[in-house]
Structure 1
Amino acid sequence: MDDLAGFLRTRRSRIDPSVLGIPTDTRRRVEGLRREEVAHLAGVSVDYYVRLEQGRATQPSEQVLDALARVLDLDDTERGHLYRLARQRRRRAPSPSGRPRDEVLRVLDLIVDAPAMIIDHRLDVSAGNRLARLLYGRQLPGLNTARHIFLDEAERGLYADWETCTLDVVGHLRLAVGKYPEDPRLAPLIGELAMGSERFRRLWARADVRARRHGRKAYRHPLVGLLELHQENFVLPDDSGMELLVLSAEAGSASEDGLRLLAALSSTEDPAVRHPDPRSRYAAAEKSD
């Protein structure tokens, strides 16, 4: 699904040669840097770099990886991804599995004023508190947020920043396949998303990686309107590959009032009742903003 050769090709294609002092003219047919230019700037032979991009060279040294990261202007997330891809043939990370520990589920239930859920590297949600269930309008075990965002068109309006969400999802999954290349459940998920979403196919081809631990997350809820929340991801201290994700509202904000209203919904609307008719739900939310 992902490999060092493909990652190197996509990274060099985005580098502007003129920024590095390399003259360009109308005869230049490649986008970004040429292979020989990357090799020269990184201090490796052209033949060796070509073999790297063709997948014929294995186990590049730390010095070579450092030089390539510098030339290709990789950020910290991309640099880490590059190193993992280069080490895949040396040591394969086992695929995480299992359910959240009971102690973690108790902590989840203690969070009552903010939506919170347990999510793994595949973006499968294994558990959620009451506010998270109300936010998504469903029971959460069995929900995969990547499918929810890309494949469920009726639910797309829930995400006020849908396009940004798609970038985050693809970047996260790229990191996941680099870290767990032998996970038997990742390949079918990527294939399903690629078959069902043209946007996913385009974004996946870019090979961008993203590690998002915190930041703004906005929802347009059909019952309480716009919720502008702050997302924090806490990696669980075990080998499960799971994270605790908490969505909080700023104190005194309209979104805090919205969460209070959501929490006050009657128990008949709580766990598994779907949101209203998807053809009208977001139109109602627009009017309430």
Structure 2
Amino acid sequence: MENGDRHLKDVRPSGNELGQLLVSWRERLDPRRIPGIDTQRRRLRSGLTQQEVATLTGVSVTWYRKLEKGEPADFSDAFLQRLAMTLRLDETERGVLFQLAVGRTPEPTRLAVDTAVDESMQALLDTQLPNPAYVTNLWWDIVAHNDQQADWFPWIPYERNSMRWAFLYPEAREQLVNWRDDWANPFLAQIRVAIAHNPKSKELAQLRDDILSGNAEAAELWKANRTQVHPDGDIRRLRLPYHQREEVPVKIMALAPLRNTQLRFIVLMRNWTPRRP
């Protein structure tokens, strides 16, 4: 073998290219910026452990290790998408993850848009600073938001649907304080009402089915048959990396533009003061 051939052999990737990428992706993360990581108990170092990635993705560490070891398994799209968000992968990296794990390219990330969200509505969102503000469509895709919303909820580029994030991503339980009673129950009640008013919406039906099949506790809560139209005026609490995990109460202001009442204009007011009686 010529010297040049030996050099080429040395730089070729090993058989477990995906495993090497997964290790590099999790080791580049800052645990202080990842919800659900107890940085006070763990030895503070860069990167996440296999156990932490598995927990945040909602699988056993044994299941995650199969992927990192390059062992073949029936990895679902939902699992790989949650993993991509946990590791903060960009669109190119997400494509590599799917290609090496299951041998195909994933569906492109849906960039939710709505023709009713024009420059003037975006300007209105921006005037809500420093409060986070966003607009969702009928089936809760976030179609526009201001910069503060992206700072508080950095998952937006990876999962555009706020309901799917709340139910299908384990880190939501860490960030949505009193998840079951204050968030999950009201959210499911809103989905039920939306479907009742829009029974032909395939998107709403798919959202319901994805949540109930992907979250056993949500499926159990659904049986309560609760209904709620909107969260306007509700006071709920968040625990976000943006606030160093301090519990932050917010008052939800939910509005609808008259040009398209199926849109929801949501403002999370942190620095509000109740009026004295």
- Superposition TM-score, scaled by structure 1 size: 0.50
Distance in 2 (alpha carbons) for counterparts of 1:99 and 1:159: 29
Query: Matches of 1:154 and 1:141 in 2, distance apart?
Result: 13
Cα–Cα, structure 1 residues 248 and 196, in superposed 2: closer, same or farther, change >3 Å? Answer: same
1:148 matched residue in structure 2: 165
How many Å apart are 1:112 and its aligned residue? 1.3
Return the alpha-carbon distance in structure 1 between the equivalents of residues 247 and 238 of structure 2: 6
Q: Structure 1 residues 108, 205: closer, same or farther in 2, change over 3 A?
A: same
Residues 245-264 of structure 1 correspond to what in structure 2 (within 5 A)? 245-250=266-271
> Following TM superposition, by how much is the alpha carbon of 1:99 offset from its aligned partner in structure 2, in angstroms?
4.9
Cα distance in 1 for residues equivalent to 2:218 and 2:255: 26
Aligned-partner Cα distance in 2 for 1:240–1:141: 26
Is the 1:121–1:173 Cα contact (8 Å) retained in structure 2? Answer: no
**Cross-structure match for 1:178:** 196
Q: In structure 1, what is the equivalent of residue 233 of structure 2?
A: 214
3-state SS of 1:214 partner: coil
Return the letter of the residue paired with 2:167: F
* Structure with the greater alpha carbon radius of gyration: 1
Identity between Structure 1 and Structure 2 (%): 17
Task: Give the drift of 1:217.
Answer: 2.0
1:121–1:140 distance in 2 versus 1, CA, 3 Å: farther
Amino acid at match of 1:150: F
Letter in 2 for 1:159: L
Structure 1 portions without partners, runs of 5+: 1-96, 254-289
In structure 2, what is the Cα distance between the partners aligned to 1:190 and 1:252? 36
Name the counterpart of 1:198. Answer: 216
Higher RCO (C-alpha 8 Å, min separation 6): 1
**CA 1:213–1:102: 2 relative to 1, 3 Å:** same
Corresponding position of 2:80: none
TM-score (ref. length: structure 2)? 0.52
| Structure 1 residue 236 corresponds to structure 2 residue 236 | no
- 2:148 matches 1:131: yes
Q: Contact 2:159–2:165 at 8 Å: present in 1 too?
A: no
Amino acid at match of 2:260: D
| Cα 1:185–1:110 shift into 2, 3 Å | same
- Matched-pair contact (CA < 8 Å) for 1:126–1:141: no
Contact 1:217 1:229 in 2 (8 A): yes
Q: Is the 8 A contact 1:128 1:140 kept in 2?
A: no
Residue of structure 1 aligned with 2:131, choices 100, 114, 123: 114
**Partner of 1:229: helix, strand, or coil?**
strand
Structure 2: segments with no counterpart, 5+ residues? 1-113
Aligned in 2, Cα 1:161/1:98: closer, same or farther, shift over 3 Å?
farther
1:223 and 1:232 map into 2 onto residues whose CA distance is: 21
CA gap of 1:141–1:180, structure 2 versus 1, over 3 A, is farther
